[in-house]
Amino acid sequence: MIAGVVGATGYAGAELVRLLSGHGKIDRLVLSSVSFEGGHIEDVYPNFLGRISMSLGKAEDVIAAAGVVFSALPHGVGEPYAHTCFEKGIPFIDLSADFRFGNDEAAFSAWYGKPYTYPKLRDHTVYGLPELNRNRIKELASSGKVIIGNPGCYPTGASLGAFPALAKGLPAGGTTIVIDSISGVSGGGREPSRSFHFPECADAVSPYKVGSHRHTPEIARNFAAMSGNENSPAIIFTPHLAPMNRGILSTIYIPLSAQWRAASTETAIRPPSNEIEQQTAAIRALYTDFYRNEPFVRVLPEGVTAATNRVRQSNYCDISVHLDHSGSTLIVCTAIDNMVKGAAGQAIQNMNIIFDYEERTGLEHIPALF
């Protein structure tokens, strides 16, 4: 199999190149880059020297040669390549937002400022979160025409943390779910800017795009898909930037319906009671069961809390389950590597599903603590 990467020199593209180079089913890569066309990937990323030596061509050449195409282009420019691949029957896995909103063009254009170029492609598009849409991915793949809208980094961690609760009806009616996320700086991409200039973000934490981040509607769509539209909770999403390279830690606050709360006779604020610990264990068990067949989701045992360094450089999403001190709100913490499960790794997971490879293929990395 020849895999193509369009836009190979951005961070997500380069991560795809690195991970695909160790993928047992991929015989060869073909790469394109607008910024470095005619150059070599190892000149842009000298960490690849001696291991990955490849010239950077045009997107058209990639599509002509490849049996599967990954696109790591910015939002709004890859549709023509998707269309060509679609016509040729080549699976197209897009890491931009272009294919994440299905037929809701209004939402996409409201947040990304562009209309769809080929709206009809959305009939053959699937949002590539395997834990939500694995069957639909397989179905489209077997039809021979499949375009994957690979999920955003924040929506991946937020959705996986909330899915079991949503699927099992834990939230109280009319609930608003708060998602508070903290990301490493690689999420901002390769292009230097003031916000990601070392002295302005090192040794510091800050929120950004409060109330206006465009991953908000994507998260809401996922929540609705899992809970059913009529039960779909409202959400609030706030991202923060922390001085680390990789990782997203999301803390998700889900108010519980009466039947799921820990019974409590205490009105004062006190350390967690036995009742709270038992109910936490019950919900943890529910989470564990929900994900029992998922290769990349780890529901952590009691006493272990999700942390970005425990999933570093891996495709795992770690989930820890907690209750607030009053037993009335479920607090779920999730950790992913934003470049792997949050981008390139998930894209490869989608490829594995499309081609019926064992889903872990090429994604066997054991997290390094540091």
The residue from 153, 201, 317, 333 that is catalytic is 153
Amino acid symbol at 118: Y
- What residues contact 112, with CB distance under 8 A and at least 6 apart? 75, 76, 97, 98, 214
Question: Could you tell me how many residues of this chain bind a copy of itself (CB under 8 A)?
Answer: 101
Shortest distance in whole angstroms from residue 72 CB to a copy of itself? 15
Residue 140 vs 335, nearer CB to a copy of itself: 335
Task: Return the residue of 2, 18, 58, 105 that touches a copy of itself, per CB under 8 A.
Answer: 18
Residue 111 binding a copy of itself, by CB under 8 A: yes
Neighbours of 281 (CB within 10 A): 12
Residue 65 touches a copy of itself, criterion: CB under 8 A: no
Nearer to a copy of itself, 69 or 254 (CB): 254
Q: How far is the CB of 156 from a copy of itself (least distance, A)?
A: 16
The distance of closest approach from Cβ of residue 93 to a copy of itself in the complex, given in angstroms and rounded to an integer, is 21
Q: Return the residues of window 147-206 that contact a copy of itself according to CB under 8 A.
A: 176, 178, 180, 182, 184-186, 188, 190, 192-194, 196-206
85 is catalytic: no
Q: Is 246 in the site for a copy of itself (CB under 8 A)?
A: yes
How far apart CA 120 and CA 309 sit, in angstroms, is 41
How far is CA 324 from each of CA 28, 270, 286, 365, rounded to the nearest angstrom?
50, 11, 18, 33
Candidates 184, 189, 214; CA nearest to 201 is 184
Q: Which is nearer to a copy of itself, 1 or 242 (CB)?
A: 242
User: What would the x/- binding string for a copy of itself be over residues 268 to 307, using CB under 8 A?
Assistant: xxxxx---x---------------------x-xx--xxxx
Segment lying near a copy of itself (by CB under 8 A), choices 80-88, 95-103, 161-169, 242-250: 242-250
Of 84 and 328, CB closest to a copy of itself: 328
CB nearer to a copy of itself: pick between 86 and 291: 291
Which parts of 328-347 interact with a copy of itself (CB under 8 A)?
A: 328-329, 331, 333, 335
| Structure tokens given for 299 | 């529901």
How far apart CA 68 and CA 351 sit, in angstroms, is 8
* Alpha-carbon separation of residue 79 from 22, 104, 163 (angstroms): 28, 16, 30
Q: Which is nearer to a copy of itself, 143 or 206 (CB)?
A: 206
Burial class (CB in 10 A: 0-12, 13-18, 19+), 172: middle
CA distance 159 to 222: 6
**What residues contact residue 128 under an 8 Å CB cut-off, 6+ apart?**
93, 137, 148, 149, 150, 151, 346, 347, 350
| CA angle at 17 for the pair 12 and 23, rounded to the nearest 5° | 120
CB of 14 to a copy of itself, least distance (A): 7
d(CA 236, CA 230): 18
Residue span binding a copy of itself (CB under 8 A) among the ranges 47-55, 70-78, 85-93, 137-145: 47-55
In the set 53, 142, 245, 278, which binds a copy of itself (CB under 8 A)? 245
Output 91 or 345, the one with its CB closest to a copy of itself: 345
CB 246 within 8 A of CB 312: yes
* Interface of this chain with a copy of itself, residues 204 to 233, rule: CB under 8 A: 204-208, 210-212, 214, 216-217, 220
Taking the C-alpha atoms of residue 145 and residue 354, their distance in angstroms, rounded to an integer, is: 10
Q: Which are the catalytic amino acids? A: 153
